[in-house]
Amino acid sequence: AHSYPVTAVSFNRDGTCVVSASHDGLIRIWDVCTGECLKTIFAAGNPPVSHVTYSPNGKYVLAGTLDSQLRLWPMTLSGKAKCSKTYGTPMHQNTKYCISSTFLVSKPKSRQCIVTGSETGDIILYDIQSRKVHQVLDKMHRDVVLAIDAHDTKEIIASGGMSKDRKIRFWCPKEPSTNGSDDVENSTKRSRLG
C-alpha cells in the first residue's frame, strides 16, 4: 500500500505486473497474481509522483513528479533502481496536478518521443534518446493539459484541457503546405507534429 493517494496505475505488456504511483513519492511494482510488492522506487528528494506508465516494450517505467520532471526507470526487479534519464524544461511545469505523459513510438525510430502536458497549457515532446525538446505545441489549451495519449500505430496525439477550455484536441502531421510555410494548422482540432 501507499501512505498517500495513489495517482496512477499501469499494467506491463504481459499483464503480470502493475506499477503504481503516489503522492508519497513512491513508485511500486506489484505482482498481479499475489498482490506482493516486488520493488519500490523513488527519486532523490522523494517528490510526489503524479503519473506513471510502462514503456511500450515493457522495459521502462516513465514517471512524472511534482517537481516538473519526468524520469525513465529501467524495470529490473533485482538490485537498487537507478533513474536512466530525466526530462525537464522551463516550459514543462508540473507542481500541482496529476498530468499524464505517454510514449509516441509510431514515428520513425529516430524521432520517437515522450509526450507530456503542462500547467502552462503547452504540450511538450521530448526526444527519448537525447532528452532534448523535440517540439512544443505552444498554448494550445487555455490552461492545464491534464490528459495526453498517443495512438499505438499512427502519429496522432490526443490532449485534454482543464476547466477553462474543457476540450479534447487531436494533433497529427499535416500535409506540407503549398506556400512553403511550416506553421501549425489554424484549427481547434488538429495541429502539426514534427
Q: 122-170: per-residue pLDDT in tens?
A: 999 999 999 999 999 988 788 899 999 999 888 889 999 887 878 899 9
Over residues 54-95, the pLDDT tens digits come to: 999 999 999 999 999 999 999 987 778 889 999 999 889 999
Strands (E), the chain: 6-11, 17-22, 27-31, 37-41, 49-54, 60-65, 69-74, 85-87, 101-104, 113-117, 123-127, 133-137, 145-150, 157-161, 168-171
Exposed, middle or buried by CB within 10 Å (0-12, 13-18, 19+), for 53?
buried
Q: What is the pLDDT of residue 173?
A: 67
89 burial level (CB within 10 Å; 0-12, 13-18, 19+): middle
Cell of 30: 506489484
Whole-structure pTM value: 0.85
- pLDDT of residue 42 exceeding 50: yes
Residue 17 has pLDDT above 60, yes or no: yes
- The alpha-carbon radius of gyration of the chain (Å, integer) is 17
Q: Which cell numbers in the block locate residue 21? A: 504511483
| Res. 184 pLDDT band, cuts 50 70 90 | very low
pLDDT band at 108 (very low <50, low <70, confident <90, very high): low
Give the pLDDT of residue 180: 38
Q: How would DSSP label each residue in 33-50?
A: TT--EEEEE--TT-PPEE
